[in-house]
Amino acid sequence: MRIFKAFAKINWSLSVLRKRQDGYHDIITLMHAIDLHDTLIFKSSETIEIETNLPVKKENNLVYKAIQALQEYTKIKKGVHVILKKKIPCGAGLGGGSSDAAVTLKALNELWQLNLDIKKLHELGSSIGSDIPFFLYLPLCIVQGRGDIVKPLKIQKSYTLLLVKPDFSISTKWAYESLNFKTQLTTEYEKINNNIWQLYNLLCSGDVNSFNLWNDLEKPVLEKYPEIDKIKKKLIEAGAKKALMSGSGSTVFGLFNNEADAKKALKNFEGYWCKVVQTLC
């Protein structure tokens, strides 16, 4: 039996450049892992068994798809019993399912002694879900393409965030399809790339007041779900230095000076799912 942690993520920035011919969207985003995590326990089994508190059919679970992808590629006949203990909320823009799948690829590569390199795991992960490759290179990366181009970055500072999620989820597919590419997108790649590197340098230096955070998906989401905007404003009123929707939502994170300030702000969000977390180094 082996136990692994699957960490969640937030997006410090997210730019959507264009819709591709394959139906996906080209993006460029700065993604950072946080210490909120699911737990996966792997046990030997002759068949594929997934035990979880997640109300999803096995065939739709990204953990199951990761197992299948490894079996199909390696032709291995082994099974596995996975116990998935969810702590990361679903449909929240925190990458929980993708992280679970990435951990499954890494764990079974080790447990089944497959000896696949990171490049092959990356390729298999990308075939299952767009965010999965990032979770193979934690903690901080610039992610481009449809999520398949990943540049790992080093960071030695950790930041305190308060996550706030309303009692609804947002469809990632809907959020992307709702973008108006004529008016809502910044397609100047060089400008976006420079802004991301500037943001990364500020993250490394700790100059919180100079952070410029952005998310192209916020505009269509806020139009349909105004409660997201209310949460953002409430976080700032509660002392957050910055607030932004993570990914396609519905989670909003507030950036605080320290854990004490973030915990103090919790009282303003009764009725919401909330969690004080730290970014990983």
Residue at which a domain ends, from 97, 122, 153: 153
Count the neighbouring beta carbons within 10 Å of the beta carbon of residue 38.
22
Residues annotated as binding site for ATP? Answer: 89-99
Structure tokens at 68: 């299948």
Domain count of the fold of the chain: 2
Single-letter amino acid code for the residue at 75: K
Instruction: Please say whether the beta carbons of 6 and 37 come within 8 A.
Output: yes
Residues 11 and 68 in one domain: yes
**Which residues is 32 bridged to in the sheet?**
10, 140
- 20 and 137 fall within a common domain: yes
Residue after which a domain boundary falls, among 128, 153, 178: 153
Q: What is the pLDDT, as a whole number, of residue 185? A: 53
Residues 218 and 149 in one domain: no
Residue range of the domain that includes 173: 160-278
* 14/141 same-domain check: yes
Cβ partners under 8 Å of residue 174, min gap 6: none
In terms of domains, do 121 and 184 share one?
A: no
Q: Is 9 a catalytic residue?
A: yes
DSSP state of 21: T
Please enumerate in sequence order all residues whose Cβ is within 8 A of that of 57, keeping only pairs 6 or more positions apart, or say none.
none
119 in catalytic set: no
* Ordered per-residue pLDDT tens for the chain, 281 residues: 999 999 999 999 999 988 888 888 999 999 999 999 999 999 999 999 999 988 778 888 999 999 999 999 999 999 999 999 999 999 999 999 999 999 999 999 999 999 999 999 999 999 999 999 999 999 999 999 999 999 999 999 999 999 999 999 999 999 999 987 654 555 588 889 899 999 999 999 999 889 999 999 999 999 999 999 999 999 999 999 999 999 999 999 999 999 999 999 999 999 999 999 999 99
Q: Mind spelling out the 3-state secondary structure of 63-92?
A: HHHHHHHHHHHHCCCCEEEEEEECCCCCCC
* Same domain, residue pair 146 and 16: yes
- Both 149 and 175 in a single domain? no
Residue ending a domain, among 119, 153, 187, is 153
Q: What is the pLDDT of residue 21?
A: 87
DSSP reduced 3-state for 188: coil
Query: What CATH number should be reported for the domain holding residue 196?
Result: 3.30.70.890
What CATH number has the domain bearing residue 53? 3.30.230.10
Distances (CA, A) of 93 to 37, 155, 242, 269, 275: 14, 22, 17, 19, 14
Q: Are residues 168 and 133 in the same domain?
A: no
Question: What values do phi and psi take at 211, rounded to 5?
Answer: -60, 135
Residue closest to 174 by CA, chosen among 243, 91, 244, 251: 91
CA-to-CA dists, residue 135 to 10, 74, 138, 195, 234, angstroms: 12, 21, 6, 23, 30
* pLDDT attached to residue 240: 98
Are 37 and 166 part of one and the same domain?
Answer: no
The verdict on 149 and 164 lying in the same domain is no
Tell me: do 173 and 42 sit in the same domain: no
Instruction: Write down the catalytic residue from 100, 131, 232, 242.
Output: 131
Do 126 and 166 share a domain, yes or no? no
